[in-house]
Amino acid sequence: MSFSLYIDYSGLVEGLEKHVCLTDLHEKIPGSERVFDTRTLEKGSLILGFMDDTLCLRRAGDKEKPVFVDFVGGKAGHRRKFGGGKGQDIAKAVGLNKGVTPHVLDGTGGLGRDAFVLASLGCTVTLIERSPVIAALLQDGINRAKQNPEVADIASRMTLINDDSRQAMQDLATDGRQFDVVYLDPMFPHREKSALVKKEMRIFQDLLSGDPDADELLAPAESLAEFRVVVKRPRLAPDLAGKEPTYRLEGKACRYDIHAYKAFGSEK
Ligand SMILES: C[S@@+](CC[C@H](N)C(=O)[O-])C[C@H]1O[C@@H](n2cnc3c(N)ncnc32)[C@H](O)[C@@H]1O
């Protein structure tokens, strides 16, 4: 078990692009000049590197399982097999229960869980993720999924762009592009006591410092979505950009705010 690349998260985002080629991760990272013996690292530093053939993020000195993307087994695999299909709230939120399989732009890709659920239900999903570290983990997960016969066709419907959605969505709209649905799930400050916040969420919080500009996502999303913008929010969170949605789907842990512009099936 070895990690090939160490990055101190204080300087992470600016530097990473130079060392990560998103289309060719496996060749670029192991050959990087930045190879460290991770045993010398300060406890708590974040480490990005390969463990066997999987790109992982973990904390120096932390015995917990590292964070990585696994679309084949684990929770994603279980949800794909037993998750409730088109009856799930997320599926209803994007309109899958209306007999359509929309092309979705996921403007806050994260580790791609929601996008994978949508892709496994037939949607084509374009994901945008601005953090190069998260994007690298996600692209690696998509690449490995494409090699696995169980999920290869699902992964082939997922395309990742490493960019800031606020600008990227505007640029796509300027180029005349439209998506049936734009899906947004920005981070929201968690109020739970730290012991209850999942390890993965803690790493995200350290790495990404929240999404304080999340409100700026709604306007460009609205200009890009033909049928609806769907915003995933914690149950009691305020509306994104203070804008009341057309309607809401309330779940136990979260809600989906739907800004609807056109009924599916109506003339494009
Ligand atoms: C809560 S996570 C999304 C989780 C995702 N829905 C999933 O299922 O894995 C929010 C993600 O959105 C990303 N993000 C926030 N604002 C963004 C922006 N303006 N452009 C691109 N990505 C953004 C963050 O970097 C973070 O990875």
Residue 126 predicted with pLDDT over 70:
yes
More confident residue, 146 or 11: 146
* pLDDT band with cut points at 50, 70 and 90 for residue 32: very low
- What is the pLDDT at residue 42? 58
User: Which range is most confident: 19-23, 46-50, 236-240?
Assistant: 236-240
The predicted model gives 34-55 an average pLDDT of: 63
User: Which range is most confident: 126-140, 191-205, 242-256?
Assistant: 242-256
Residue with CA closest to ligand 1 atom 13: 108
Homologous superfamily of 74-260 in CATH?
A: Vaccinia Virus protein VP39 (3.40.50.150)
Are 25 and 17 in contact by the 8 Å Cβ rule? The answer is no
Residue 244 predicted with pLDDT over 70:
yes
Residue 148 predicted with pLDDT over 90:
yes
Distance 134 CA to ligand 1 centre (A): 9
DSSP annotation of 223 reads: H
> To test the ligand 1 pocket, which listed residue (130, 183, 206, 216) has its Cβ within 8 A of the most ligand atoms?
130
Nearest-angstrom CA–CA distance, 34 and 43: 19
- Residue positions forming the annotated binding site for S-adenosyl-L-methionine: 113-114, 129-130, 185
Distance 28 CA to ligand 1 centre (A): 25
Are 68 and 54 in contact by the 8 Å Cβ rule? The answer is yes
Q: How far is CA 242 from CA 43, 209, 218, 257, in A?
A: 40, 21, 10, 12
- Output phi, psi for 20, to 5 deg: -120, 125
- What is the pLDDT at residue 212? 87
- What is the pLDDT at residue 31? 42
The predicted model gives 53-63 an average pLDDT of: 75
Residue intervals of the chain classified under CATH 3.40.50.150 are: 74-260
> To test the ligand 1 pocket, which listed residue (67, 172, 187, 218) has its Cβ within 8 A of the most ligand atoms?
187
Give the residues across from 55 on adjacent strands: 50
Nearest atom (ligand 1) to Cα of 131: 25
Residue 174 predicted with pLDDT over 70:
yes
Helices (H), the chain: 12-19, 25-28, 74-82, 89-94, 113-120, 132-146, 152-155, 165-174, 199-208, 218-224
Distance 129 CA to ligand 1 centre (A): 6
Nearest atom (ligand 1) to Cα of 106: 6
Torsion of Cα atoms, 75 then 81 then 82 then 83, to 10°: 70
User: pLDDT (tens digit, 9 = 90+) per residue, 92-110?
Assistant: 999 998 889 999 999 999 9
Q: Which of 66-75, 164-173, 218-227 has the lowest mean pLDDT?
A: 66-75
The predicted model gives 253-267 an average pLDDT of: 88
Are 51 and 66 in contact by the 8 Å Cβ rule? The answer is yes
Residue 188 predicted with pLDDT over 50:
yes
Are 190 and 199 in contact by the 8 Å Cβ rule? The answer is no
- Residue positions forming the annotated binding site: 113-114, 129-130, 185
- What is the pLDDT at residue 67? 87
Distance 185 CA to ligand 1 centre (A): 6
Residue 34 predicted with pLDDT over 80:
no
The predicted model gives 23-46 an average pLDDT of: 46
Write out residues with Cβ below 6 Å of ligand 1: 108, 110-114, 128-131, 134, 164-166, 185-187, 208, 211, 217
User: pLDDT (tens digit, 9 = 90+) per residue, 74-84?
Assistant: 788 777 877 77
When the pLDDT of each residue in the chain is averaged and rounded to a whole number, the result is 80
